[in-house]
A = this chain, B = another copy of it.
């Protein structure tokens, strides 16, 4: 493997990589995603079709899909009334009657399997700085949930309650407001022990506390409103999906900057780990997913774990999540390690990022900005891969979450992308 010392040759080429990267991270940080509404995916997500399912990570086929991804696809098709079981689901997908495309191709991001189907409601965010929109579905909470590949009647019943009771109320509440500024909510939650990916306790209750007066003002069914508020307030991941959509809006505007070596997207589908580079267009660089290391729920071990899965690494891509772990020392009870490890994680990420965030700061590090904008050159040159906090799904369809932990993508991904960069920009 050859490494290119790109920072030395750029001047000769008349290309200013530093300037391109600076522009990319400035755009990422100045993006201001505001939650402005809610709608059915089919009605609001650009390019969504009646026979399309969106999913986490880079493109995938049924054949290569992991257990939890197959489970979530099956559940979504049952939810849509298009299949009765996994066998029918498989036929629909393999025949091409049902198509699969990444959330990331549709301005969306979904946690774990990340399956978004046409009649599922999604949050609508608008980046008020640059005007782009982004989307994510509603968080289902814990236990047996679609995003971890479970699809029993219990899972479907909850999805229907979310769609029929919660979504219309959230829609009316959000639309009655001036919007909920998710960047500002994240900045606040990072001062309250969250890192924004795997610990969203503070963010979720901030979100609930902001929604409560809106929901109470618009509802015509107080019993239902009370149940929705209890569901939001007791789910420490309520805000994860709007946060992921916010990070997607931020990273989308950092993408497509000519000459930039910023890694604008990391995403996993349970089979492949994919990245995209700002200056290399829509190409995905992929490699087999690793399995996270972490803490398992009682009765489960690493033997049960699916490969790494989910679009939630969009948080790390935007400078929070594992990168902001120093903000969230209490997370080690959930993902393993010690508070010192949490600080070390953030400190190491400064070595591979381009800047320190203007708005996301870490009190315990003297309010230093979070490490933001992964620089492909630094990752390869220093041989330091990004650190990610993540949930762990069971490897078989239909089971659900088995733990939470830490994971790093393979270095080969970044090496391959750097070679492609050199080729594209004719650096030899």
From A212, A223, A233, A329, residue with most partner B Cβ within 10 Å: A212
At the interface, yes or no: A15 with Cβ under 8 Å from chain B?
no
Given A206-B205, A209-B205, A329-B364, CB of A216 within 8 Å of CB of B192: no
At the interface, yes or no: A193 with Cβ under 8 Å from chain B?
yes
User: Which 4 pairs, one residue from A and one from B, show the smallest C-beta to C-beta distance?
Assistant: A209-B233, A329-B363, A212-B212, A217-B226
Q: Which residues of B contact A219 (CB under 8 A)?
A: 216, 222
Tallying the copies of this chain within the complex gives: 2
Q: Are A217 and B222 in contact (CB under 8 A)?
A: yes
> A116 → chain B, closest Cβ, in Å?
27
Q: Are A227 and B213 in contact (CB under 8 A)?
A: yes
Q: Are A212 and B193 in contact (CB under 8 A)?
A: no
Q: Which residues of B contact A256 (CB under 8 A)?
A: none
Q: Are B233 and A225 in contact (CB under 8 A)?
A: no
User: Within the complex, which residue of B192, B209, B223, B363 is in contact with A212, where a contact is CB–CB below 8 Å?
Assistant: B209
A365 to B330, CA, bound (A): 10
Q: List 22 A-B contacts (CB under 8 A).
A: A188-B201, A192-B193, A192-B201, A192-B202, A192-B330, A193-B193, A202-B205, A205-B205, A208-B209, A209-B233, A212-B216, A213-B226, A213-B229, A213-B230, A216-B222, A216-B226, A217-B223, A332-B363, A338-B366, A339-B363, A339-B364, A339-B367
Q: Identify which of residues 362-409 in chain A touch chain B, using a CB-to-CB cut-off of 8 Å.
A: 363-367
At the interface, yes or no: A214 with Cβ under 8 Å from chain B?
yes
- Chain A contact residues: over half helix, strand or loop, or mixed? helix
Q: Are A226 and B214 in contact (CB under 8 A)?
A: yes
At the interface, yes or no: A191 with Cβ under 8 Å from chain B?
yes
A233 to B213, CA, bound (A): 9
Q: Which residues of B contact A340 (CB under 8 A)?
A: 366
Closest to A211 in B: B212
Q: Are B212 and A229 in contact (CB under 8 A)?
A: yes
> A399 → chain B, closest Cβ, in Å?
29
At the interface, yes or no: A283 with Cβ under 8 Å from chain B?
no
A193 to B328, CA, bound (A): 9
* Interface flags, A306-340, vs B, CB<8A=1, else 0: 00000000000000000000000110100000111
**Which residues of A are in contact with B by a Cβ distance under 8 Å?**
188, 191-194, 201-202, 205-206, 208-210, 212-217, 219, 222-223, 225-227, 229-230, 232-233, 329-330, 332, 338-340, 363-367
Given A192-B192, A233-B210, CB of A363 within 8 Å of CB of B330: yes
Q: Which residues of B contact A223 (CB under 8 A)?
A: 217
Closest to A202 in B: B192
Q: Are B208 and A212 in contact (CB under 8 A)?
A: yes
Q: Which residues of B contact A222 (CB under 8 A)?
A: 216-217, 219, 222
From A194, A201, A205, A232, residue with most partner B Cβ within 10 Å: A205
A363 to B338, CA, bound (A): 9
Closest to A217 in B: B226
> A233 → chain B, closest Cβ, in Å?
4
A188 to B366, CA, bound (A): 23
Q: Which residues of B contact A212 (CB under 8 A)?
A: 208-209, 212, 216, 229, 233
| Contacts A215-B216, A216-B225 supplied; 11 other A-B pairs, CB < 8 Å | A188-B201, A192-B192, A192-B194, A205-B206, A212-B233, A213-B229, A213-B230, A216-B216, A329-B364, A339-B366, A339-B367
> A334 → chain B, closest Cβ, in Å?
11
> A237 → chain B, closest Cβ, in Å?
14
A365 to B329, CA, bound (A): 9
Closest to A214 in B: B226
Q: Which residues of B contact A191 (CB under 8 A)?
A: 193, 330
A338 to B364, CA, bound (A): 9
Q: Are B193 and A363 in contact (CB under 8 A)?
A: yes
A340 to B364, CA, bound (A): 8
